Structure 1
Amino acid sequence: MLNRHAKFSSLLFPLLTAASLVLAAPAARAAISITPHDVAGAPGSNVDVTFDFDFGANTLISSFDLGLVFDPALLTLLDGDFYQNGAAVDALNGLDAAGTLIPNFDLSNGSIGVAWYALDSNFQPLPPLALSGTYSLLLSFQLNNNFPIGQDTSVALTLDASDENLDPIDTISKIANVAAVPLPPSLLMMLSGLGMLAVSRVRRSD
């Protein structure tokens, strides 16, 4: 596991090498879909918020701006990973090789932003990203203890991108809801039993 700040630098899509970007047929019109998944948990517990990305058969991207916003008064971001076919992937090295990455993290205000451009360090054009199939962005949050039971909050994701012709792709905005719910009765009974056992042992030691 990377540390907290280094991990967010890799909350991005895995990249292909420049050689794999040479395609025998022209790419279709860029099409990206994102599916958010709502979750629920008790205050003090951890939950995983997932966004599934579908890039279709072949999508070429020359730039993107990915942003995430959440309420830091209710949620604490613990970790983040990208997955491809169930396997965790780290795209940091690929992004460094494939273009220019500009991260902008402000976790105290609940904001994560990453911009990427198909440009080298001298601002010369590089091949676009070639993405296909599905990927999952998994964000691990802790529900803060002050999160009111019965209420929910949103984790909002926005993606702006341009295709291989530098034409903008429609902005995608998605929201995953996180709800605070009471602890399950079975867990409450277990915690109650552990508490009674602890009190009993303290009394015996006296």
Structure 2
Amino acid sequence: MTEWLRREGFPIRQTPPSSLTRHATLIRASMAQREWTVTQIYDTLVQQGYEGAFSGVSAYVTWLREGHEPPATADQPGLTPVREKRLGVREVSWLFTLDPDRLTPEMTRRLRLLVDRWPQGQATYALIQQLTSLLRQAPTSGSALLASWIQAALDSGMMEIQRLGRSFKKDFAAICGAIESPWSNGQTEGQVHRLKLIKRQMYGRANLDLLKCRVLLA
């Protein structure tokens, strides 16, 4: 109370800490158009990478319509620049192996940040994309292309990629067969999975004869 009495006037209302502060210019430009809605602004922000709720955008737009000026991020007390969400191993693996044509704008942005901040990111991404492209296309000359990729991996100077190249070289014949052959062991794997499921349903208490009957009659 004493602090308020010492003030010479009313304090200037500040924007509450918000991830929308960095989008203030875009929001105000949208509001300056002849016809605009909060829904349109929200959709535009989502395309720009905004992950917040619609209600937050609505409240921020209302605050701007009242005539308030949004301060810069660095000048706003208690507001720090938005940090990128930390990617897990699975997310990074997915970004590196996914077909570039299937990447969304947000995924492309995060992949670019990841690759640019990692000294060997560009080389690693290029090698991974070469390998996944080889596996997706399944060419008849897969053995020659795979041998070329293995040599590039061994010469990359990256320990993890070199380890992968050595493991591919060890199982070269099997991998080439999987790439070049039109056949698949998917049916076999499916039957093995079905057999294990039936066996587990009997809790290991039935003999082979009963298991055989259940497999044939199920």
Q: TM-score range by the shorter chain?
A: under 0.3
Instruction: Please give the TM-score of this superposition, normalised by the length of structure 2.
Output: 0.21
Which protein has greater RCO, CA pairs closer than 8 Å, 6+ apart? 1
Q: Which has the larger radius of gyration?
A: 2
Which has more strand, going by share of residues?
A: 1
Instruction: Please give the TM-score of this superposition, normalised by the length of structure 1.
Output: 0.22
